Amino acid sequence: MPVTATDLPLGKEVAYPQTYQPQLLCPIPRLAQRQALGIGLDRLPFMGADVWTAFELSWLNARGKPQVAIAHLTFPCETPNIVESKSLKLYLNSLNNSVFADKAAVRDCIRKDLSEAAWRGSPLPTGSIGVRIIEPASFDAEPIHELSGLDLDRLDVECSHYTPQPNLLFSQQEQSHTTETLTSRLLKSNCPVTGQPDWASLQISYSGHPIDQAGLLQYIVSFRNHTGFHENCVEQIFIDIWQRCAPLELSVQARYTRRGGLDINPLRSSKPHALPANIRTARQ
């Protein structure tokens, strides 16, 4: 069954794993945090995925020689669980002294274990987590780019709220529909387990009546002292904009800075579309 917060390894001293241990993975149910937003698992108001980058992946080849790689992991937002980040780090570390025939065997092992954890305890059919292994020969092809769009941070706004304030959001109903992409590097929240800060760049794309940009930036800043997992923060931002501004289409993406060799990048959208390229920002 999925674990509770008191069972999590995050914020606790734990032994470094010396052998392959898939049981280290700790699923956290999405349901409680989604219910707080007025949504359940049966009919989500958005689509999307959580795209993780694991920078500290290593294993042994058949001759015992260490191999290193980067892994891109894609968790569909429909999974009933997220995987607690430190447990994923410990699990990946448990592969360090394990022998695999090739990167395909590593990929298949990670996919199997993460898929089991993401759907653990659910009556829903188990799906598959996307896993892509990047070897050193391809590291130079991993570019760094900032999120595209109009920078909200250029605005000289007064900020006085540091817990989420949806009432700061509104659209200009008297104006014609527009389509635009807005970005900010000022999203910050706090880990609900350790209280440590989580930093992110945010990209909001929408079609509809123009969203007031000053209010949107103040709203983003209002997450500064908020406690929430990365995935939940993005879902709350999506829901608040969707309900307060009533766009015709909406997409919200956050790219969080790396912690413990992992970054987490949730995307939620009102309509299906291909995931953007997993291109990290300078702060990641």
Residues labelled catalytic: 191, 198
**Which has the closest alpha carbon to 34: 267, 207, 232?**
232
- Token code pair at residue 126: 């188990």
**146 marked as binding residue:** no
What are the CA-CA distances from residue 162 to residues 36, 68, 189, 199, 218 (Å)?
19, 41, 10, 14, 9
Residue 73 CB-density burial (10 A; 0-12 exposed, 13-18 middle, 19+ buried): buried
**38 marked as binding residue:** no
Instruction: Report how far residue 74's alpha carbon sits from residue 145's, in angstroms, rounded to the nearest whole number.
Output: 20
**51 marked as binding residue:** no
Question: DSSP readout, 47-85?
Answer: EEEEEEEEEEEEEE-TTS-EEEEEEEEEEETT-SEEE-H
**171 marked as binding residue:** no
Angle between helices 230-245 and 213-221 (to 10 degrees): 150
**84 marked as binding residue:** yes
Instruction: Report how far residue 281's alpha carbon sits from residue 284's, in angstroms, rounded to the nearest whole number.
Output: 5
- Token code pair at residue 201: 């760049």
**86 marked as binding residue:** yes
**128 marked as binding residue:** no
The H or E element containing residue 105 is: helix 103-118
**12 marked as binding residue:** no
Task: Please enumerate, by residue number, every residue annotated as part of a binding site.
Answer: 83-86, 230-231, 259-260
Task: Please enumerate, by residue number, every residue annotated as part of a binding site for substrate.
Answer: 83-85, 230-231
Task: Please enumerate, by residue number, every residue annotated as part of a binding site for NADPH.
Answer: 85-86, 259-260
